[in-house]
């Protein structure tokens, strides 16, 4: 995975048909997705439950781009090896998920993956000040995590601060929650380069009508061009 700051669209398969993940992943990639965003929820750190390592491992052969796994779970450390084994390219943990995010990021890199750190809306940019050389991606949540389809919370001031803190380091700024053609320009202008989008990509489409996924992604790209 080479680093660049071009805008990348990472559809969240949280909004896909849960009975048809393989075909959904192939459809969004065929329609132009840059990465595939996989939301892992434990019904404990967040009030919703999705899937775990065996499911993520089953997704892997379908993902030809980048498998971007967002853990909304606590604890994280006991599961790091399982997600490496499942084939995650990027593994993101929440800073709020435990007292030892520094150790967690080291362990994720140690297991051969890119390490991401996610920040809930209430967590300030400064919380990652001492993690910048340990991380490959900072995920700025623009909703409280747990569900797709929520209203965008404006975090542009935080994104701007992070962009400045990152400087020349090869660290992505990813935005997760409520990204659509209206909100994407705000976050890209502030310094984001990875746009996670669930409902805005999947709405109106299906594996039998995947052109809609392509149209939805083109609408997001056009909004930031
Ligand atoms: C929220 C998840 C998101 C979610 C985004 O907890 O982390 O990735 O699927 O969904 P939308 O784009 O619908 O807000
Ligand atoms: Zn996510």
DSSP assignment string, 159-202: HHHHHHHHTTS--EEEEESS-STTTHHHHHHHT--EEEESHHHH
Which are the contacts of 48, defined by CB distance < 8 A and separation ≥ 6? 41, 146, 147
Kindly give the distance from the C-alpha atom of residue 176 to the centroid of ligand 2, in angstroms, as a whole number.
Answer: 6
Q: What share of the chain is helix, strand, coil (3-state, %, to 5)?
A: 40, 20, 40
In this prediction, residue 1 carries a pLDDT of: 80
User: What does the pLDDT read at residue 81?
Assistant: 98
Among the listed residues 68, 89, 176, 193, the single catalytic one is 176
User: Which tokens is 91 given?
Assistant: 């593994």
| Residue 3: inside a domain | no
Residue 106, domain CATH: 3.20.20.70
Q: What is the pLDDT at residue 2?
A: 85
Residue 168 annotated as catalytic? no
Pairing state between β 90-94 and 114-119: parallel
Let me know if residue 176 belongs to a domain.
Answer: yes
d(CA 138, CA 68): 12
Pairing of strands 90-94, 8-11: unpaired
- Per the domain annotation, does 1 fall within a domain? no
Cα of 167 vs centre of ligand 2, distance in Å, is 24
- Judge whether 74 lies within some domain: yes
State the closest ligand 1 atom to the C-alpha of 70, by its place in the atom list counted from 1: 7
- Is residue 184 within 6 Å of ligand 1 at its C-beta? no
Tell which residue, 189, 184, 186, 219, has the closest CA to residue 201.
219
Task: Give domain status of residue 149, yes or no.
Answer: yes
CA of residue 120 to ligand 1 center, whole Å? 12
pTM: 0.98
Specify if 2 maps to a domain: no
| Residue 68 among the catalytic residues | no
Spatial contact of 24 and 207, defined as CB atoms under 8 Å apart = yes
105 part of a folded domain = yes
Task: Name the residue of 143, 187, 201 to mutate for ligand 1: max ligand atoms within 8 A of Cβ.
Answer: 143
Q: Is 198 in the pocket of ligand 1 (CB under 6 A)?
A: yes
- Structure tokens that stand for 224 in this block: 């930031």
Our answer on whether the CB atom of 176 is closer than 6 Å to any ligand 1 atom is yes
Ligand 1 site, residue 148, Cβ cutoff 6 A: yes
Residue 79 lies in a domain: yes
What total number of domains does the chain contain? 1
| Range of the structural domain that residue 197 is part of | 8-224
Distance, CA of 85 to CA of 32 (rounded, Å) = 27
CB 74 near ligand 1, within 6 Å: no
Segments of the chain with pLDDT less than 70: none
């Amino acid at each position: 995975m080479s680093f660049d700051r071009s805008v990348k669209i990472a559809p969240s398969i949280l909004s896909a048909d849960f009975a048809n993940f393989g075909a959904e992943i192939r459809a969004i990639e065929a329609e132009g997705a840059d990465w595939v965003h996989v939301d892992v929820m434990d019904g404990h750190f967040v009030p919703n439950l999705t899937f775990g390592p065996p499911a993520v491992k089953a997704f892997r052969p379908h993902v030809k781009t980048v498998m971007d796994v967002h853990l909304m779970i606590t604890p994280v450390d006991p599961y790091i090896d399982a997600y490496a084994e499942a084939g995650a390219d990027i593994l993101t943990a929440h800073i709020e998920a435990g007292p030892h995010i520094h150790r967690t990021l080291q362990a994720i890199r140690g297991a051969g993956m890119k390490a991401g750190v996610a920040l809930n809306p209430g967590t300030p940019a400064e919380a990652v000040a001492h993690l910048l050389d340990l991380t490959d991606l900072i995920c700025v949540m623009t909703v409280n995590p747990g569900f797709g389809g929520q209203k965008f919370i404006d975090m542009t001031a935080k994104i701007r601060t992070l962009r400045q803190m990152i400087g020349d380091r090869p660290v992505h700024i990813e935005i997760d929650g409520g990204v659509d053609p209206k909100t994407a320009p705000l976050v890209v202008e502030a310094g984001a380069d990875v746009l996670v989008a669930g409902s805005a990509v999947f709405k109106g489409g299906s594996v039998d009508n995947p052109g809609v996924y392509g149209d939805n992604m083109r609408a997001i790209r056009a909004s930031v061009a």
